[in-house]
Amino acid sequence: MELKVEGMSCGGCVSSVKRILTKQLEVPEDEVEVELAEGRAVVPDSVSDDKLAVALERLTAAGFPSTRAA
C-alpha cells in the first residue's frame, strides 16, 4: 500500500518516517520502504485500517502530513 508523505527533506526525515511506521504498524523495518525523492512510503497491504489511521496521525503530528495514496 502506498502512502503520500509530505515534509521530508533529508535522510533524517526518512529515518523518522520509517521508525514511526514500523512502530505504529508493528511490522519489521524491511517491510517498510520510504522514498525521499518521491515523497512516499510503501507498507504491507495486510496492515489494518485502524493501525494505518493511527500511523498517519502520528506522522502528521511529527511534521510529515500523510495520506493513503489514491
List pLDDT tens digits, range 49-68: 999 999 999 999 999 999 99
Residue 6's domain comprises: 2-68
Q: How many residues in total does the chain contain?
A: 70
pLDDT band with cut points at 50, 70 and 90 for residue 70: confident
Percent of the chain with pLDDT over 90: 99
Q: Which grid cell is 60?
A: 502528521
Between 70 and 43, residue with greater pLDDT: 43
Q: In the predicted model, what is the mean pLDDT of residues 36-53?
A: 96
pLDDT at residue 18 greater than cutoff 90: yes
What is the average per-residue pLDDT within 17-31? 96
CATH classification of the domain holding 57? 3.30.70.100
Q: Specify the number of domains making up the chain.
A: 1
Place of cell 525521499: 36
